[in-house]
């Protein structure tokens, strides 16, 4: 007689706990960080250099120096060549540059002497996508 009620109670409890588990995310915070572009002042603290290693004239090396006190991530590089062509490389997954650190990336098949200009697409995280770059892993 009590068995159907007990089964119903366990089923209802299980569904309630499952709903809570789906709603809980260990990486979520009330701050809702979003990927965002740098402000002019932040951009001035991120330096990108490009060149070729000695003895390798085919692979462009790019060095990203993050002078910010928070991490950044880079998604792609674009190289405009003197003949009007463009070489692009997507970094999947995006590569992480810790605060006040340097990381390197390479773009193959960019011959030395053919590059006109280059750009690296990097972003940071900002609370609700506004304000200063912030570290989404730090509380407070």
Model confidence, pTM: 0.74
Separation of alpha carbons 65 and 122, rounded Å:
11
The structural domains of the chain, ordered by start, are 30-127 (2.60.40)
pLDDT at 32: 85
pLDDT at 28: 53
Q: What is the pLDDT along the chain (140 residues), one digit of tens a residue?
A: 445 444 434 444 444 444 444 444 444 555 588 999 999 999 999 999 999 999 999 999 999 999 999 999 999 999 999 999 999 999 999 999 999 999 999 999 999 999 999 999 999 999 988 999 999 888 65
Separation of alpha carbons 48 and 38, rounded Å:
14
Radius of gyration, alpha carbons of the chain: 24
pLDDT at 29: 54
| DSSP alpha helix (H) spans, the chain | 3-23, 40-43
As given in the structure block, the two tokens for residue 1 are 């007689």
pLDDT at 138: 80
CB 50 within 8 A of CB 105: no
């Amino acid at each position: 007689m009590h068995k159907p009620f007990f089964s119903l109670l366990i089923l209802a409890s299980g569904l309630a706990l499952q709903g809570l588990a789906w709603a809980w995310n260990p990486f979520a915070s009330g701050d809702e960080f979003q990927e965002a572009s740098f402000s002019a002042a932040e951009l001035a603290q991120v330096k990108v250099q490009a060149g070729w290693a000695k003895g390798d004239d085919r692979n462009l090396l790019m060095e990203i120096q993050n002078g910010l006190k928070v991490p950044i991530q880079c998604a792609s590089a674009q190289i405009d060549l003197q003949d009007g062509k463009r070489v692009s490389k997507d970094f999947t997954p995006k590569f992480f540059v810790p605060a006040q650190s340097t990381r390197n990336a390479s773009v193959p098949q960019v011959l030395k002497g053919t590059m006109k200009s280059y750009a690296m697409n990097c972003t940071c995280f900002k609370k609700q996508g506004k304000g200063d770059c912030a570290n989404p892993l730090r509380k407070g």
